[in-house]
């Protein structure tokens, strides 16, 4: 894999390879003494497995540069931790204090970073498609990983969500997965849809009218018109954060009333989809997409499991890209 720009460009086999590798990293990273995994071998077997996995990788000579032009906690920190676990060198690039603020172009900045020894760029940016565009402009052999570009794509989020679902369900084939909330501004929704469709899930969307994309017909999913019907008997409910930073004035006004109708509570979940797995890419707006009480309940725990899997998926991706 040269770059990771968009889930749409990955084959099912490539997705499986990433998830298998991530699962290996997870097994090797976790300490059975803390009861984090159900590992049946002894401690020494576990240590040997870890050693084999870490020795096998060729990341020690790699340098990754994390370029985050939008705020992030989960994605950025998990990339940092992943790179660190792989023994890579990592640069946490600060756009504000860099020469970009003197007018240097992103392409020139990247060329210079390459000449310093950087070989992997992890890019988060507010502009749609920028990772694709810049990866074509730069002719030097840098590997690009899209860590979220505007409202377009967030491939590593979809991969970590898929890993979490496989752990819980074994397969997503023919599972009813309902994606709910601010669909129109969500890169997470688009990348998850692409991946879940590839893997044979039944993807449903529900969004209030003001968060329904104008081109909804281009989304290969079932569009629901009622929240409670949408979530009924779902295997998975994936809530999306309201993207307050991307809303226009009218959308912001409408969004103020979102929670009155669409906040998921424990009671609502118990009534319509008691067995559903609850997911959210984070950060959760407590009391908006879901109640605080639901988030803190055992049902909300999956959201932290998603975050943990993010580390291992990003290890697999950092290791896998070759510029």
Nearer to ligand NCD, 138 or 203 (CB): 203
Cβ 185 to ligand NCD, closest distance in Å?
A: 9
Between the CA atoms of 39, 45, 46 and 48, what dihedral angle is there, to the nearest 10 degrees?
-160
Nearer to ligand NCD, 78 or 119 (CB): 78
Nearer to ligand NCD, 75 or 309 (CB): 75
Cβ 95 to ligand NCD, closest distance in Å?
A: 16
Cβ 73 to ligand NCD, closest distance in Å?
A: 8
Cβ 133 to ligand NCD, closest distance in Å?
A: 19
Cβ 234 to ligand NCD, closest distance in Å?
A: 20
Question: Is the backbone peptide bond immediately before 12 cis, with ω within 30 degrees of 0?
Answer: no
**In 58-167, where do the E strands start and end?**
63-68, 89-93, 120-125, 143-149
CA dihedral sign of residues 300, 305, 311, 312: negative
How far, in Å, CA of 288 to CA of 271, rounded? 19
22 with 86: CB under 8 angstroms? Answer: no
Q: Calculate helix-pair angle for 301-320, 74-85, nearest 10 degrees.
A: 50
Nearer to ligand NCD, 109 or 243 (CB): 243
- CA end-to-end span of the chain: 8
Nearer to ligand NCD, 120 or 243 (CB): 243
How far, in Å, CA of 160 to CA of 283, rounded? 15
Rounded to 5 degrees, what are φ and ψ at 115? -70, -15
Cβ 63 to ligand NCD, closest distance in Å?
A: 23
Residue nearest to ligand NCD (CB): 241
Nearer to ligand NCD, 3 or 75 (CB): 75
Nearer to ligand NCD, 107 or 246 (CB): 246
Task: Residue 15: name the closest of 239, 197, 205, 219 by CA.
Answer: 197
Q: Which residues bind ligand NCD (CB under 6 A)?
A: 74-75, 148, 154, 157, 187-188, 241, 243, 281-282
Cβ 115 to ligand NCD, closest distance in Å?
A: 30
User: In which element (H, E) is residue 253 found?
Assistant: helix 249-255
């Amino acid at each position: 894999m040269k770059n990771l720009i968009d889930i749409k460009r990955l084959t099912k086999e490539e997705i499986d390879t990433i998830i298998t590798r991530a699962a290996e990293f997870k097994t090797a990273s976790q300490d059975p003494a803390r009861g984090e995994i159900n590992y049946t071998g002894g401690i020494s077997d576990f240590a040997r497995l870890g050693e084999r996995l870490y020795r096998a990788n060729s990341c020690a000579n790699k340098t990754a540069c994390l370029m985050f032009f939008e705020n992030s906690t989960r994605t950025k920190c998990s990339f940092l931790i992943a790179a660190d676990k792989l023994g890579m060198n990592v640069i946490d690039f600060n756009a504000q204090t860099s020469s970009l603020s003197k007018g240097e172009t992103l392409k020139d900045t990247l060329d210079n970073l390459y000449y310093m020894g950087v070989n992997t760029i992890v890019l988060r940016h507010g502009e749609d498609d920028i990772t694709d565009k810049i990866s074509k402009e730069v002719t030097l052999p840098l590997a690009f990983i899209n860590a979220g570009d505007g409202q377009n794509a967030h491939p590593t989020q979809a991969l970590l969500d898929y890993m979490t679902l496989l752990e819980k369900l074994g397969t997503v084939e023919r599972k009813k997965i309902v994606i709910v909330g601010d669909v129109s501004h969500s890169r997470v929704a688009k990348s998850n849809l692409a991946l879940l469709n590839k893997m044979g899930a039944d993807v449903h969307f529900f969004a209030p009218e003001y968060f329904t994309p104008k081109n909804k017909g281009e989304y290969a999913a079932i569009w629901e018109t009622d929240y409670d019907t949408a979530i009924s008997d779902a295997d998975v409910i994936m809530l999306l954060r309201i993207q307050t930073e991307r809303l226009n004035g009218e959308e912001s006004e409408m969004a103020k009333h979102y929670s009155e109708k669409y906040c998921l509570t424990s009671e609502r979940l118990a009534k319509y989809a008691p067995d559903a797995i609850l997911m959210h890419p984070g950060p959760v707006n407590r009391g908006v997409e879901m109640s605080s009480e639901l988030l803190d309940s055992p049902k909300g725990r999956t959201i932290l499991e998603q975050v943990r899997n993010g580390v291992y998926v990003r290890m697999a991706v950092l290791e896998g890209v070759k510029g």
